[in-house]
Structure 1
Amino acid sequence: MQVQLETLSNLERRMNIALPMAAIDAQVTERLKRVARTAKIQGFRPGKAPLKIVEANYGAQVREEVLGEQVQQGFYSAVNEQKLRVAGYPRFEPVAAEGDAENFKFAATFEVYPEVKVGELADKEIKKPSTPVTDVEIEKTIDILRKQRTRYNRVERAAAEGDRVIIDFKGSIDGVLFDGGSSENFPFVIGQGQMLADFEAGVTGMKEGEVKNVEVSFPADYHGKDVAGKTAVFEITVKNVAEATLPEVNEEFAKLLGIADGDVEKMRAEIRKNVEREVKRRLQARTKEAVMQALLDATEITLPKALVQLEIGRLIEQAQRDMQQRGMNVKDMPFPPELFAQQAERRVALGLILAEVVDANKLEAKPEQVKAMIEEFADSYEHPEEVLTWYYASADRLEGPTSMVLEDNVVEFVLSKAKVEVEELSFDALMGNNA
């Protein structure tokens, strides 16, 4: 086998390979003999057809198979000899023999992995968020859980903020009804911002059975272009006014939350445990994001186009699956690759950088770390031991926790090198309760 390597660009290579035709012909003949043992050809008993007849029927197919295998084997043999790390898939194309009948020539164009050199981390500033979990946060969480179980009881008074009303309404502009401006038995809670402010203000103070015309101004940037910037008149009929009633924090409430014996203190302890777990998870996610950005900022890297394209393909497939699971028909829906390019580039870059950091600093995941990670997952389930058994039943299932441990090891390593500033973050800001 003859090999000639060309450098086309920083990462792109072209390898010209010549394979001895005699070896290929020998492989074809050997395979045809094997095919002849069982070949069913009209006019001959199975396995009794002459080799020339077998070749006439199967020769082209067998030669194509052998050539494909020889090209693959020859390419990867040459790659190993040259100690090259191929990124993505090579592109093969035949090369004209130009009078050389003794060799089959082809070219493989491909990219190699870049050399990754992580820059100086000591100068990087990383903000590490910190959020304490106190009794105040536990009470906030209990209040949220109570609101999620709100009951509405009919009242005969005028509607006020926090009440749920059920209404019929008809909206018109210049006396003409407009699309989407009418509904019957429509429920909403006053004060939650579900309706425009003018609309809610008009309903506030109305009683069951009352009918009223309310003038509503749509903002100029309203999502409905036909009504944006216009003023409409809504005829509103209130059919029901209901007052919100939150459950008391008692034995019955504790049972609703899964505490079998209704012990309120057990409930609080369980809520605290869950809140602390969620706070820890979110803090770790924010810290990890800051570390990953620091690594990206510290490292100049040229990305193999092939890896980026593969990642774009994976992201598109993921988006399609997500939409299908939501009941959406994605058959004719376009997924422009450029929409996923930036995310794909970031993921490919981080994958290469993390691999280098792990390898250079021996940050491989240890078995005890993986086990601890799985035990932490399992702790939120009713039967943790079953979760542990499930993960260890297959090596493939350990890949997820192992990858997470690797990332955690990288995070700790980077934090040990960089300038870390602890940043106090409120519970509401962390949990997204700022609205």
Structure 2
Amino acid sequence: MAVNVETLDKLERKMTLTLPVSVIQSEVDSRLKKLARTVKMDGFRPGKVPMNVVAQRYGYSVHYEVMNDKVGEAFATAANEANLRVAGQPRITEKEDGADGQLSFDAVFEVYPDVQIGDLATAEVEKLTAEVSDAAIDKTVDILRKQRRTFAQRAHDQAAQESDRVTVDFEGKIDGEPFSGGKAEDFQFIVGEGQMLKEFEEAVRGMKAGESKTFPLAFPEDYHGKDVAGKTADFLVTIKKIEAAHLPEVNEALAKSLGIEDGSVESLRADIKKNLEREVKFRLLARNKTAVMDALVAKAELDLPRAAVQAEVERLLEGARAELKQRGIKDADKAPIPDDVFRPQAERRVRLGLVVAELVRSNELHAKPEQLRAHVEELAASYEKPADVMRWYFSDNRRMAEVEAVVIENNVAEFVLGKAKVTEKAVSFDELMGQPG
């Protein structure tokens, strides 16, 4: 069957579909007969409802279903015969009744664009590199020691200092009035770890057990407690107990408590280094992939299908509402969020998806079974029982589809880096991890 496709715009097309009335009618009759065998209606035994009564009650909805199904089938067949890659759902409108027992419909739809990718040899990509230094290992050892610290009560005449755990009673007042959350008894915090506002920590430093002090505390404008944000309170604080922190020594006992079988500090540091290197590798890969994708988008020319962008906008909108709901926002599903907030992000995602798909297709960059297995092995390696984690991945198609998407992205990144002008830039471990130096 010859399909006549009319171009309306860059990616918009129109075609006319025709369906014989007899085909529609015979399918409607067939579905109504099937319905009559099971339908329950007052005054009739099941399966004994007369056809004319069934047709009167259900005729319209069955006719509507059949029209939808048949027009959808006709559109899919016609699009397939014309080798069209349809983006989104077609908008179908019925034309005036056609002659010769035919029904006619106009289908307006979009097609996916041709993607032109420019010369990747002229693309410029900055590729980050990072090393796991001894200082990074030291920092991790300190974190592990801190997680296992113990506290012992200081002598009565010793003042509170950095890293001490203090137990306090406090009460705050604004203009002489107490406020919600401004009072506590036997409250514990560690000095210098940022649990309390700076002025509170400053006031407590240097105090001794049994001492009391009144001091002003200015709440920041962006403080989470809206009632007190931007206001100044007077606090009375009493120190009840001061405990000094004791960090475990870096020795065999610490190493063994961290699962190092031979208990040597060298093995502990080697184990930490291996874990940090794995984390560095994943982070570098993610950062460098972003740089590659930016370069790729800049080198590609294509028109974006509006339907695909709108579908992506709706997906992002749904995600935003779900996040609001999770944060306990009331009526999050009704919150007025304008589409335009997500349009630039949606356009970039659709553009990137089409460009990557074209590069994968034209350069055979699909994920190979051995790549999928190697990636799952790498993900599982940091767990205590890697074999169980691997089974968990392989037993679920959805999880494996996510792995496949990552492997394809890795293939694309490698392919582009092999063609582009690459400049390497070394970054520190702390910068890569987003930690203060």
Q: Which residue of 1 aligns with 2:377?
A: 375
Distance 1:152 1:344 in 2: 52
Q: Which moved more, 1:425-434 or 1:187-196?
A: 187-196
Q: Give the letter aligned to residue 308 of structure 2.
A: L
Q: Do the aligned residues in 1 keep the contact of 2:321 with 2:333 (CA within 8 Å)?
A: no
Distance 2:51 2:217 in 1: 89
Q: Which residue of 2 aligns with 1:424?
A: 426
Q: Which moved more, 1:78-87 or 1:1-10?
A: 1-10
Please show how residues 82-93 of structure 1 align to structure 2 within 5 Å.
82-93=82-93
Structure 2 gap segments, 5+ residues each: none
Distance 1:343 1:142 in 2: 40
Distance 1:386 1:247 in 2: 33
Distance 1:221 1:328 in 2: 19
Say if 2:207 is the partner of 1:210.
no
Q: Do the aligned residues in 2 keep the contact of 1:3 with 1:18 (CA within 8 Å)?
A: no
Distance 1:403 1:332 in 2: 30
Q: Which moved more, 1:47-56 or 1:387-396?
A: 47-56
Q: 1:2 to 1:276 in 2, by over 3 A?
A: closer
Q: Do the aligned residues in 2 keep the contact of 1:249 with 1:264 (CA within 8 Å)?
A: yes
Distance 1:179 1:39 in 2: 62
Q: Which residue of 2 aligns with 1:412?
A: 414
Q: 1:162 to 1:48 in 2, by over 3 A?
A: closer
Say if 2:361 is the partner of 1:356.
no
Q: Give the letter aligned to residue 353 of structure 1.
A: V
Q: 1:67 to 1:220 in 2, by over 3 A?
A: closer
Q: 1:194 to 1:387 in 2, by over 3 A?
A: closer
Q: Which residue of 2 aligns with 1:149?
A: 148
Q: CA deviation at 1:146?
A: 1.4
Q: 1:421 to 1:100 in 2, by over 3 A?
A: same
Q: Which residue of 2 aligns with 1:248?
A: 249
Q: CA deviation at 1:4?
A: 5.1
Q: Which residue of 2 aligns with 1:287?
A: 288
Indicate the SS of the match to 2:239: strand
Q: Give the letter aligned to residue 64 of structure 2.
A: E
> TM-score under structure 2 normalisation?
0.86
Q: CA deviation at 1:357?
A: 0.9
Q: Do the aligned residues in 2 keep the contact of 1:2 with 1:17 (CA within 8 Å)?
A: no
Say if 2:155 is the partner of 1:158.
no
Please show how residues 313-352 of structure 1 align to structure 2 within 5 Å.
313-321=314-322, 334=335, 336=337, 337-352=339-354
Distance 1:8 1:399 in 2: 36
Q: Give the letter aligned to residue 433 of structure 1.
A: Q
Q: Give the letter aligned to residue 289 of structure 1.
A: T
Per-residue deviation, residues 338-391 of structure 1 (Å, max 9, x unmatched): 443333222222111110111111111111111111111222223323333343
Q: Do the aligned residues in 2 keep the contact of 1:38 with 1:46 (CA within 8 Å)?
A: yes
Q: 1:122 to 1:54 in 2, by over 3 A?
A: same
Q: Do the aligned residues in 1 keep the contact of 2:17 with 2:105 (CA within 8 Å)?
A: yes
Q: What is the Cα-based RMSD across aligned positions, in Å?
A: 3.2
Q: Which moved more, 1:196-205 or 1:42-51?
A: 42-51
Q: Do the aligned residues in 1 keep the contact of 2:3 with 2:81 (CA within 8 Å)?
A: no
Q: Which residue of 2 aligns with 1:137?
A: 136
Q: 1:193 to 1:386 in 2, by over 3 A?
A: closer
Distance 2:250 2:331 in 1: 46
Q: Give the letter aligned to residue 167 of structure 2.
A: I
Q: Give the letter aligned to residue 77 of structure 2.
A: S
Q: Do the aligned residues in 1 keep the contact of 2:3 with 2:82 (CA within 8 Å)?
A: no
Q: CA deviation at 1:23?
A: 2.6
Please show how residues 299-318 of structure 1 align to structure 2 within 5 Å.
299-318=300-319
Q: Give the letter aligned to residue 405 of structure 1.
A: V
| Matched residues, number | 434
Q: CA deviation at 1:5?
A: 3.7
Q: Which residue of 1 aligns with 2:405?
A: 403
Distance 1:33 1:115 in 2: 48
Q: Which residue of 2 aligns with 1:189?
A: 190
Q: 1:341 to 1:169 in 2, by over 3 A?
A: farther
Q: Do the aligned residues in 2 keep the contact of 1:86 with 1:112 (CA within 8 Å)?
A: yes
Distance 2:220 2:33 in 1: 81
Identity %: 51
Q: CA deviation at 1:85?
A: 1.2
Q: Which residue of 2 aligns with 1:21?
A: 21
